[in-house]
Amino acid sequence: MTGADQPSAFRLAYVPGATPAKWVRIWGERHPEVPLDLVAVTAAEAADVVREGGVDAALLRLSDDREGLHAIPLYTETTVVVVPKDHLVAAADEVSIADLADELVLHPLDDSLGWDHLPGKPALERPETTGDAIELVAAGVGVLMVPQSLARLHHRRDLTYRPVEDAPQSRVALSWPEGETSDLVEQFIGIVRGRTVNSTRGRQETQAKTGKAPAKKKQREPDRRRNVPKSGGRGKPRRRR
């Protein structure tokens, strides 16, 4: 892509906890002519931003509503419970939902785990954000279950977290609008999937950009000397005139 056909940038949205840094670096190495713009979005608005064309693609948390979206699941996160460091849960390596039955479990409005039934004792009000819920946990008001990346994102020295073995889990996916997939999205999919520059698809993309097929290795010409009879055999070599 050159001139007027070259897009100004590739726009990639990402939700809190998603870590696109590695893929962004590889993109910069392979496509320095097309900047990659990162757009931070909330988990709740990510799908709509993709559907409306506000970005080319997004790293988001999968939900049941995938209308108008393509999606490639990338990984599933461990769910953890965030508690004060002096909480009884902190003494365990891993807990179950049953272990939290007597706890006040906070349920922020931006929750990404999709609970059918929240365990523990419900709070009177739902915190607006995960960050607000973390502040309440630090104040000794309840516990909070979140994907592990969010626990790391909101890390505090006075808090810790432990895996919850039987809790719902959050899946992170690369998503883009339904319909024809653009060349830039195809190239980003290749990066996310670990495709190398020298892969078959990579060579096809290079050919499409340059209009030339990759150079073929030059084959050796056959050694004509092998057909020359040796002296001492039945046939005599011809004398030069």
Q: If you average pLDDT over residues 5-34, what whole number do you get?
A: 92
pLDDT of 223 reads 54
Whether 152 and 120 share a structural domain = yes
Q: For the chain, what is the domain count? A: 2
> What pLDDT was estimated at residue 238?
52
Show which of 163, 195, 227 is a domain's final residue.
163
Measured N-to-C along each axis, helices 183-192 and 200-210 cross at an angle, to the nearest 10 degrees, of 150
CATH of the domain at 61: 3.40.190.10
User: Do the domain assignments include residue 221?
Assistant: no
Tens digit of each residue's pLDDT (9 = 90 or more) over 177-227 = 999 899 999 999 999 999 887 764 544 443 444 344 444 545 555 555 555
Q: What is the SS3 assignment for 2?
A: coil
pLDDT value at residue 214 = 46
Percent of the chain at pLDDT exceeding 70? 79
DSSP state of 123: P
Judgement on whether residues 150 and 116 belong to the same structural domain of the protein: yes
- Statement to judge: residues 180 and 68 lie in one domain: yes
In this structure, is residue 229 part of a structural domain? Answer: no
Residue with tokens 């769910």, as numbered in its chain: 79
Q: In whole angstroms, what is the distance from residue 135 CA to residue 128 CA? A: 12
**87 shares its domain with 71:** no
Q: What is the mean pLDDT of residues 28-37?
A: 96
Question: Is 140 among the domain residues?
Answer: yes
As a whole number, mean pLDDT of residues 100-115 equals 94
In a domain, 40, yes or no: yes
Q: Is residue 235 part of a domain?
A: no
**Residue 86 and residue 67 share a domain:** no
Least confident of 84-98, 111-125, 132-146, 206-220: 206-220
Please give the residue range of the domain that contains residue 115.
79-163
> What pLDDT is stored for residue 154 in this prediction?
96
Within a domain: 227: no
21 and 134 in a single domain? The answer is no
Residue 64 sits in the same domain as residue 176: yes
Specify which residues 59 forms β-bridges with.
Answer: 14, 174
Asked if residue 157 and residue 111 are part of one domain, the reply reads yes
226 in a domain, yes or no?
A: no
Least confident residue range of 20-34, 56-70, 90-104? 56-70
Q: Does the residue 132 lie in any domain?
A: yes
> Could you tell me the pTM of the whole model?
0.76
Residue pLDDT, tens place only, 140-163: 999 999 999 999 999 999 999 999
179 in the same domain as 158: no
Across 46-50, 79-83, 194-198, least confident range: 194-198
- Average pLDDT of the chain, as a whole number: 85
Does 59 lie in the same domain as 100? no
Residue where a domain terminates, one of 101, 130, 163? 163
Residues 184 and 66 in one domain: yes
Q: Is the pLDDT of residue 1 over 60?
A: no
Query: 121-147 in b/e burial notation, b at 16+ Cβ within 10 A?
Result: eebeeebeebeebbebbeeeebbbbbb
Instruction: Pick the last residue of a domain from 163, 183, 198.
Output: 163
Is residue 68's pLDDT more than 70?
yes
Please check whether residue 52 is in contact with residue 63, taking contact to mean a CB–CB distance below 8 angstroms: no
- pLDDT reading at 235 higher than 60: no
Residues 145 and 130 reside in one and the same domain: yes
DSSP type of residue 109: T
